[in-house]
């Protein structure tokens, strides 16, 4: 119960920061909705962790809900790192093309 409270406090801080960034127009609407959904789902998963345990057992998983959430978080992080790497690669290519074009002029 104590760990859940600590986790929910951290999520509340992240959501508060998210609203601050939106207020100062540091993030767009789509990114705001994405992160708000992400943190809200995380908070709901923490609140209903016992229900999640029961659902996982009924589906056939032997682990607890917190293990499932941890696995899901690691998979999500790898996905976001992959997407970030693709965007960085595209940005580098665009920058190279721009520099090449400027040099030729």
Number of domains in the chain: 2
Say what the pLDDT of residue 88 is.
96
The residues, any chain, with a CB within 8 Å of residue 7's CB and separated by 6 or more, are: 46
Say what the pLDDT of residue 51 is.
86
**For residue 3, what is the enclosing H or E element?**
helix 2-23
Residue 83 in domain: yes
- Asked if residue 69 and residue 40 are part of one domain, the reply reads no
Residue 80 in domain: yes
Say what the pLDDT of residue 3 is.
83
Residue 57 in domain: no
- Asked if residue 75 and residue 39 are part of one domain, the reply reads no
Residue ranges, the chain, pLDDT below 50 = none
- Asked if residue 43 and residue 3 are part of one domain, the reply reads yes
Domain that holds residue 28: 1-47
For the question of whether the overall pTM of this predicted structure is more than 0.75, the answer is no
Say what the pLDDT of residue 71 is.
85
Residue corresponding to tokens 């995380």: 42
């Amino acid at each position: 119960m104590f760990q859940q409270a600590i986790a929910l406090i951290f999520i509340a801080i992240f959501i508060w920061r998210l609203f601050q960034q939106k207020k100062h127009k540091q993030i767009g609407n789509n990114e705001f909705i994405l992160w708000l959904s992400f943190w809200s789902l995380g908070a709901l998963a923490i609140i209903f962790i016992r229900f999640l345990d029961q659902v996982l057992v009924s589906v056939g998983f032997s682990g607890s809900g917190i293990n499932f959430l941890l696995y899901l978080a690691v998979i999500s992080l790898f996905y976001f790192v992959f997407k970030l790497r693709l965007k960085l690669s595209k940005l580098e290519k665009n920058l190279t093309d721009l520099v090449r074009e400027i040099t030729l002029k």
